[in-house]
C-alpha cells in the first residue's frame, strides 16, 4: 500500500532523436519534462501538509 508514501515521479527529458522531437509537442516534452508529486492523505491533514499542498497547487501551472 502507498497510504503513507510520498511519491515523486519525474523524467529527465522527452524524445531526443525521434521524429516527435521535430513537432511542437516534442519540443514541449523536451523542455518541460514530466513531474508529479503525490502526498499521502495523512500528511495533507496536518497543518504543515495543508500548507505544502496549497503551495504545490498554487505553483503547478507557473
Domain boundaries, the chain: 7-59
Residue 1 banded pLDDT, cuts 50, 70, 90:
confident
Determine whether 52 is exposed, middle or buried from the number of CB atoms within 10 Å of its CB (0-12, 13-18, 19+).
Answer: middle
Is this structure's pTM higher than 0.95?
no
Q: Is residue 5 within 8 Å of residue 44, measured between CB atoms?
A: no
For residue 38, what pLDDT is reported?
87
Tell me the average pLDDT across 11-32. Answer: 80
- Cα separations (Å) of 17 from 12, 20, 22, 25, 35? 14, 8, 9, 14, 21
Amino acid at each position: 500500500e502507498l497510504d503513507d508514501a510520498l511519491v515523486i515521479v519525474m523524467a529527465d527529458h522527452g524524445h531526443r532523436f525521434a521524429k516527435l522531437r521535430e513537432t511542437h509537442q516534442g519540443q514541449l516534452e523536451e523542455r518541460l519534462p514530466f513531474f508529479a508529486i503525490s502526498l499521502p492523505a495523512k500528511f495533507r491533514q496536518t497543518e504543515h501538509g495543508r500548507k505544502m499542498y496549497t503551495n504545490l497547487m498554487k505553483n503547478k501551472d507557473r
